[in-house]
């Protein structure tokens, strides 16, 4: 039997986990900067070369002015293109949050961006191959190339399977056929520009520029084009077109952004955007006259990628500390998570479904979850957390949030129906102890990278680049979250006993939940990444025909977020 972790041991574990989380998050940001910066650099460099070659007619003086002018023109065109991608990502995310289908234009651009990320990763790998070939042994380098080939082959098959399954999914109404047709059209244009005439590429650029400025100046025209694309794509696929009134498109997102800018700056958004664009284009031209074009191109790519990533990182950090953290959004994204309000509250007797004539098993009809949480929180001078009811049969109780004032207590319907009144009270006290001990804040922060990675995979679809990166983030996050979580359960148990004064109630609750989980199907909610660290008891272990002992060691000792439930029950009953 292992000894309980000391306060110093918990501190060391927390420091190790915090440093690991910081390095992991920094590594992901650097990887994303590269994935976004490389195609921007390639696009700007290619555009400058083409325009310079077209503009240089004669004379050295004109040749000197052609390159800075080309840089300014490419930057002027590139800004609306990047804005179109950013608006599309925001549109898809907002549509998902509103449970509405995103418009075909936004979906097509997001699909195109996913292919660009794949191309970017290939360019990065190809650029590093000469270096690896010079430093690695020949057999190892050959094995690396072979593995890369098999990965690309597997990625292609998986992507095709993903698209096929999604096309057969009648329940998922988020995606529209028009988005896929737009991607096909863009690839055709790209092929024509590479095979016949470079000017064909201007069609894609012109379309993206039109999309941004059209959404600002003539939004009704853009909506009309979107509806026409949807109807035409639906006719070809012999499907019902998406209702334009139900879809959330780029023009809707532009209206929201314009409203926010007017409220924040008290200026007309058109003037603000125009002045900003003129300043950026002018600065690019001026810089190209002072330093080499290569330096300007690299700087433009680096600044654009940093701004692009910074917007998303900043929005994520801001959202984390406003109460709607990534762990909570991940649960909302995957499950039916309802807010418990005063008008919705049933008596605990009705919610728990308790029965019997024994007064210990009979709950006062006027008691409610809110009153229990408020009373227990008041005993430890905590503001009552928001209560969310998870419509799921698996018994789950978890608390997330960085500060007590914005914490959220999540109780599943299965837990409420499983526990008796005194057991439910003890389980809630256990979760409140996590808030009082700042466990919820620590675990919420440590679980944020994994939750954000899962949200990205869910919202933007399967991507051969994003998928392995997200899996790596999830695996590393599970390790350091488990490192911290295991030692904090005992402290939460002790805190729950201090609140209720009844160790037997918590022991009985743990025993009831553990027994109930044994009867549940193997597809358990808490086996799925971030929610595991916040659950009150670990999932039961199912024996495997091969390497069972090794698997159990990895699952329980390396990635296990809870100490053995039997040990916790024995500790509590020893205090009775």
pLDDT for the residue numbered 56: 54
3-state secondary structure 329-352: HHHHHHCCEEECCCCCCCEHHHHH
Give the H or E element holding residue 387: strand 386-390
What is the rounded CA–CA span in Å between residue 515 and residue 453? 33
Contact 48, 71 (CB under 8 A): yes
Is residue 518 among the annotated active site residues?
A: no
Mean pLDDT by 10 residues, the chain (576 residues): 63 87 91 91 86 60 70 88 88 81 82 82 83 85 82 70 56 57 80 81 85 84 81 73 78 86 77 84 88 90 92 84 78 67 44 42 49 87 86 79 86 82 89 88 87 76 73 86 81 87 87 70 47 61 59 61 78 79
Query: Any residues with CB less than 8 A from the CB of 531 and at least 6 apart, and which?
Result: 327, 330, 331, 396, 398, 525
Residue with tokens 């020893």, as numbered in its chain? 574
What is the rounded CA–CA span in Å between residue 132 and residue 129? 5
pLDDT for the residue numbered 33: 92
Tally Cβ neighbours within 10 Å of residue 274: 11
Give whole-number Cα distances, 544 to 300, 548, 551, 562, in Å: 54, 5, 8, 21
pLDDT for the residue numbered 576: 67
Runs of H (alpha helix) within 321-420: 326-334, 348-352, 369-379, 413-418
Nearest to 258 by CA among 215, 309, 221, 226: 215
- 368 three-class SS: strand
Nearest to 337 by CA among 398, 424, 383: 398
Residue with tokens 């918590």, as numbered in its chain? 506
pTM score? 0.77
pLDDT for the residue numbered 517: 63
What is the rounded CA–CA span in Å between residue 210 and residue 251? 12
Contact 402, 320 (CB under 8 A): yes
pLDDT for the residue numbered 5: 61
Give whole-number Cα distances, 57 to 7, 99, 455, 526, in Å: 75, 55, 51, 68
pLDDT for the residue numbered 366: 34
pLDDT for the residue numbered 302: 93
Runs of H (alpha helix) within 56-137: 60-97, 104-135
pLDDT for the residue numbered 342: 42
pLDDT for the residue numbered 97: 76
Tally Cβ neighbours within 10 Å of residue 176: 27
pLDDT for the residue numbered 41: 92
What is the rounded CA–CA span in Å between residue 533 and residue 443? 7
pLDDT for the residue numbered 557: 62
pLDDT for the residue numbered 461: 60
Contact 400, 378 (CB under 8 A): no
Residues 401-411 as b/e (b if ≥16 CB within 10 A, e otherwise) read: bbebebbbbbb
pLDDT for the residue numbered 355: 42
The torsion angles phi and psi of 489, rounded to 5 degrees, stand at: -70, -40
Task: List the catalytic residue out of 86, 111, 253, 431.
Answer: 431
């Amino acid at each position: 039997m292992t000894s309980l972790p000391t306060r110093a041991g918990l501190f060391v574990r927390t420091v190790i986990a915090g440093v690991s989380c910081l390095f992991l998050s920094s590594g992901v940001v650097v990887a994303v900067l590269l994935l976004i910066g490389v195609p921007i650099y390639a696009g700007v460099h290619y555009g400058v070369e083409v325009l310079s070659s077209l503009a240089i007619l004669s004379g050295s003086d004109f040749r000197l002015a052609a390159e800075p002018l080309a840089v300014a023109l490419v930057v002027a065109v590139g800004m609306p293109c990047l804005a179109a991608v950013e608006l599309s990502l925001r549109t898809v995310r907002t549509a998902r949050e509103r449970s509405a289908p995103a418009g075909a234009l936004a979906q097509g651009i997001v699909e195109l961006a996913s292919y660009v990320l794949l191309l970017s990763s290939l360019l990065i790998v190809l650029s590093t191959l000469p270096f690896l070939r010079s430093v690695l042994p020949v057999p190892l380098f050959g094995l690396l190339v072979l593995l890369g080939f098999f990965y690309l082959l597997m990625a292609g098959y998986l992507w095709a399977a993903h698209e096929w399954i999604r096309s057969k999914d009648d329940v998922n109404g988020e995606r529209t056929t028009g988005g896929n047709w737009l991607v096909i059209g863009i690839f055709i244009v790209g092929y024509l520009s590479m095979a016949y005439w470079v000017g064909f590429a201007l069609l894609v650029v012109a379309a993206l520029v039109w999309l941004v400025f059209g959404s600002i100046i003539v939004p009704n025209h853009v909506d009309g084009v979107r509806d026409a694309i949807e109807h035409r794509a639906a006719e070809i696929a012999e499907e019902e077109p998406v209702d334009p009134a139900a879809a959330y498109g780029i023009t809707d997102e532009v209206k929201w952004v314009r409203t926010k800018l007017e409220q924040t700056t008290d200026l007309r958004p058109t003037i603000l955007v125009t002045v900003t664009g003129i300043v950026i284009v002018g600065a690019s031209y001026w810089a190209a006259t002072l330093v080499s074009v290569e330096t300007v191109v690299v700087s433009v790519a680096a600044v654009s990628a940093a701004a692009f990533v910074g917007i998303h990182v900043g929005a994520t950090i801001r959202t984390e500390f406003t109460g709607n953290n990534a762990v909570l959004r991940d649960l909302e994204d995957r499950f039916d998570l309802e807010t418990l309000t005063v008008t919705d509250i049933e008596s605990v007797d009705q919610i728990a479904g308790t029965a019997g004539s024994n007064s210990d098993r009979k709950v006062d009809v006027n008691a409610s979850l809110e009153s229990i949480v408020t009373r227990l929180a008041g005993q430890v001078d905590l503001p009552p957390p928001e209560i969310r009811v998870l419509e799921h049969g698996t018994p789950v109780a978890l608390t997330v949030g960085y500060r007590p004032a914005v914490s959220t207590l999540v109780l599943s319907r299965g837990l409420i129906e499983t526990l008796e009144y005194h057991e439910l009270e003890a389980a809630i006290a256990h979760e409140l102890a996590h808030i009082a001990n700042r466990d919820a804040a620590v675990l919420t922060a440590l679980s944020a990278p994994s939750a954000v990675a899962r949200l990205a995979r869910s919202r933007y679809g399967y991507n051969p680049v994003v998928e392995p990166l997200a899996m790596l983030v999830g695996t590393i996050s599970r390790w350091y979250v488990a490192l911290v979580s295991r030692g904090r359960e005992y402290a939460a148990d002790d805190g729950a006993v201090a609140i209720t004064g009844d160790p037997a109630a918590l022991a009985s609750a743990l025993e009831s939940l553990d027994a109930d989980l044994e009867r549940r199907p193997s597809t358990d909610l808490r086996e799925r990444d971030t929610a595991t660290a916040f659950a009150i008891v670990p999932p039961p272990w199912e024996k495997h025909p091969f390497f069972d002992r090794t698997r159990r060691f990895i699952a329980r000792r390396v990635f296990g977020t809870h100490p053995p439930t039997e040990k916790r029950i024995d500790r509590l009953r020893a205090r009775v």
